[in-house]
Amino acid sequence: MELKKMVGYKAAEFVEEGMVVGLGTGSTAYYMVEALGKRIKEEGLTITGVTTSSRTSEHAQSVGIPLKDIDEVEKIDVTIDGADEISADYQGIKGGGGALLFEKIVASYSDKVIWIVDESKLVDKLGAFPLPVEVVSFGSGQLLRLFEKKGYRPTLRTDEDGQTYQTDSGNYIIDLEMNEITNPHQLGEWLDGLTGVVEHGLFLDCVHTVIVGYEDGPEVKDVR
């Protein structure tokens, strides 16, 4: 079985009757949504989904997962999402799929956060994967210059038609080629303090369980 499918289906086993479930975005989270749809049909599982993107909303609806807006639920019991990179101390980069803002909001109102990845996403230190930074369009050129001066080799993300990529909130994404992020907390705080930055893809101290897909099966690591 494909590793992404393996961990997506494994993670769906963690969902219990009556739970409010945060549904992540991306090609790995896709399988978790598919698996939950199957459990609803085959076991009569009753859950409520809170999605992290319009893409995931469409998919979840198509497989029969009842959805609520994040503001309609008291809290989220568990959120299951993919990641672009996970370091040896379980910090993460997310946002390769452009959904980092909603993903971080949903994760921060969740009792438990599970990341599902194939083994290729595990790294010693973060930074080989370009760090996504979501910015408002106004002044985004100034932020590009600032990142350039810092040596972060920024790129304004474009879509498949070569147009500037827009997030579900209508913002832009600047991807930073950091190579190695020596102090993720310091970098995260600096980015948080920049006017015009809406959110960044450093997901720090937020994951509880990581499910890693290896050729010989999934490994569940409880990390906090």
Please tell me whether residue 22 binds ligand 5RP under the rule CB under 6 A. Answer: no
Nearer Cβ to ligand 5RP, position 109 or 165? 165
User: How far apart are alpha carbons 11 and 23 in whole angstroms?
Assistant: 11
Please name which of 102, 104, 125, 120 lies closest in space to residue 187, comparing C-alpha atoms. 125
If phi over 0 gives left and psi between -120 and 50 gives alpha, with beta otherwise, what is residue 66? beta
SS3 at position 13: coil
58 is catalytic: no
Please name which of 83, 81, 68, 71 lies closest in space to residue 19, comparing C-alpha atoms. 68
Please tell me whether residue 92 binds ligand 5RP under the rule CB under 6 A. Answer: no
Please tell me whether residue 85 binds ligand 5RP under the rule CB under 6 A. Answer: no
Options 9, 11, 24, 33; binder of ligand 5RP; rule CB under 6 A: 24
Q: Which helix (H) or strand (E) segment is 198 a member of?
A: strand 197-200
| Helices vs strands, H then E, count in the chain | 6, 13
Please tell me whether residue 97 binds ligand 5RP under the rule CB under 6 A. Answer: yes
Q: Which stretch binds ligand 5RP (CB under 6 A): 10-18, 99-107, 154-162, 190-198?
A: 99-107
If phi over 0 gives left and psi between -120 and 50 gives alpha, with beta otherwise, what is residue 173? beta
Please tell me whether residue 79 binds ligand 5RP under the rule CB under 6 A. Answer: no
Please tell me whether residue 209 binds ligand 5RP under the rule CB under 6 A. Answer: no
| Token pair recorded at residue 27 | 């090609």
Please tell me whether residue 45 binds ligand 5RP under the rule CB under 6 A. Answer: no
Options 103, 134, 175, 199; binder of ligand 5RP; rule CB under 6 A: 103
Nearer Cβ to ligand 5RP, position 70 or 146? 70
Q: Distance of CA 146 to CAs 28, 53, 151, Å?
A: 33, 29, 9
Please tell me whether residue 27 binds ligand 5RP under the rule CB under 6 A. Answer: yes
Please tell me whether residue 33 binds ligand 5RP under the rule CB under 6 A. Answer: no
Please tell me whether residue 81 binds ligand 5RP under the rule CB under 6 A. Answer: yes
Q: How far is the CB of 83 from ligand 5RP (least distance, A)?
A: 6
| Token pair recorded at residue 38 | 């199957």
Please name which of 200, 221, 196 lies closest in space to residue 210, comparing C-alpha atoms. 221
Options 37, 49, 98, 213; binder of ligand 5RP; rule CB under 6 A: 98
User: Could you give the residue numbers annotated as active site?
Assistant: 103
Please give the residue ranges that form the binding site for ligand 5RP (CB under 6 A).
24-29, 81-84, 94-100, 103
